[in-house]
Amino acid sequence: MAAIRNRIRELRALREITQQELADRVGVTRQTVIAIEQDKYSPSLETAFKVALVLGVPLEECFQYDPRGKR
């Protein structure tokens, strides 16, 4: 299990935002959004804040840190 987990897919679905729309608004590629959603890539702090901002939630509601998870 990854150290940094997220609820992006769920929050995105609630707001009816596509992966491409989120990617465009955050300034990353759609492939990066897919990798983040699948917990395969941990974004930089700046990108994490941008994702939370676009989804309209605090950072900790979007991303969670699990100290037992692997980096």
Residues near other proteins (CB under 8 A): 27-32, 34-35, 38, 40-41, 43-44, 47
Name which of 44 and 70 has its Cβ closer to other proteins.
44
Locate the DSSP E strands across the chain: 4-6, 63-65
- As given in the structure block, the two tokens for residue 18 are 């596509």
Closest separation in Å from C-beta 55 to other proteins: 18
Measure the CA–CA gap between 30 and 65, rounded to whole angstroms.
23
Closest separation in Å from C-beta 45 to other proteins: 11
Name which of 14 and 32 has its Cβ closer to other proteins.
32
| CB distance 4 to 11 below 8 Å | no
